[in-house]
Amino acid sequence: MIVFTVLILCVIPATRYYQIDQPLMRWLRGPNRVDPAELHLSGEFVENNLGTEIDPDGSVTVRMIAQQYLFVPHCVLVPAGVPVHLRITSADAAHTFALIGTHYAVKALPGTITEAQLQFANPGEYTAACAEFCGAGHFEMRSELKVVPREQFQALDSVKRGGCVAR
C-alpha cells in the first residue's frame, strides 16, 4: 500500500511536469516558455528590457511583444550589416511580425518565445504589419523598423535604448 501511494505521488509530477510552475520545471520544459498574462511582471519581456540590446559579440537582440493591436515597442532601431536576433512573444492572440518588402515574417504566439535571426545590408525604413488575423484592429496593427548605419546606431544607443517612438 505504501509502495503504491509513493509510486502514485511520483507519477503525478512525472506526467504533469509541464503544469508545475517552478524554476526547475521551467528548466526541464525548455527556455522558450512564458506566461502571456505575466509578461510585464518578470522575465525578459518587462518594460525596460524591450527594444534593442547590444550583445557582447557585436550583434543585437530585439525583444518585442505583439498584442491586440500593437507591437511594443512601436518603433525599433537596428544597425545595418549586423545579425539581429529577434525574440518575440504574444500577450494574447496569435500574431505575425511581417516586414513589408522583405521575406521576413515571424510568428508571435502566446506562451512561447519565437526566435529569428534577421540581417539588413543597407540602412532603410521598414513597416512591419501583423499578418495573422488577430481581431477587430488587425488591419491597423503596424510598427516601424528603422535600419541605421552601424556607427550612427552606437551613438544613438547611449541616449535611447534603440527606441524611436516619438515621445
Partner 1 sequence: MWRDNQVRDFHKDDPLDSLRSCSWQPGMAIATTTVVLLAVIAGTSLLNRVNAGSSHRVPSNVAWTPETIAQASSGKAFRGLLLAKRCEHCHGAEGFSPVGSTPNLAGLDKLAVWKQLEDFRDGKRSSPVMEPIAQSLSQRDLADVAAYYAELPVYADPQDNRVFPEPNAQASHSPIASRLVAFGEGSRGIPPCQACHGPVGYKPGAPSLATQNADYVLAQLDAFGDGSRANDINEPMRTIAALLSDSERQALATYYGAGLGLQPGGASDIAPKPLKLP
Residues that bind partner 1 (CB under 8 A): 2-3, 6-7, 9-10, 13, 20, 22-25, 35, 37-42, 46-49, 65, 67-74, 91-92, 135-137, 139-144, 165-167
Judged by CB, which is closer to partner 1: 34, or 147?
34
What's the closest the beta carbon of residue 141 comes to partner 1, in angstroms? 6
Inter-residue contact 145 to 125 (CB < 8 Å): yes
Closest among 112, 77, 120 to 95, alpha carbons compared: 112
What's the closest the beta carbon of residue 76 comes to partner 1, in angstroms? 12
Judged by CB, which is closer to partner 1: 44, or 150?
44
What's the closest the beta carbon of residue 59 comes to partner 1, in angstroms? 23
Judged by CB, which is closer to partner 1: 134, or 147?
134
What's the closest the beta carbon of residue 29 comes to partner 1, in angstroms? 14
CA distances from 121 to 42, 101, 107 (A): 34, 14, 23
Task: For residue 148, count other CB atoms closer than 10 A to its CB.
Answer: 20
Rounded Cα–Cα distance for residues 91 and 94 (Å): 9
Judged by CB, which is closer to partner 1: 37, or 155?
37
Judged by CB, which is closer to partner 1: 68, or 112?
68
Q: What is the DSSP string of 34-90?
A: --GGGTTTSSTTSGGG-EEEE-TTS-EEEEEEEETTEEESSEEEEETTS-EEEEEEE
What's the closest the beta carbon of residue 121 comes to partner 1, in angstroms? 25
Could you give phi then psi for residue 38, rounded to 5 degrees? -120, 25
Provide the 3-class DSSP secondary structure of residue 103. coil
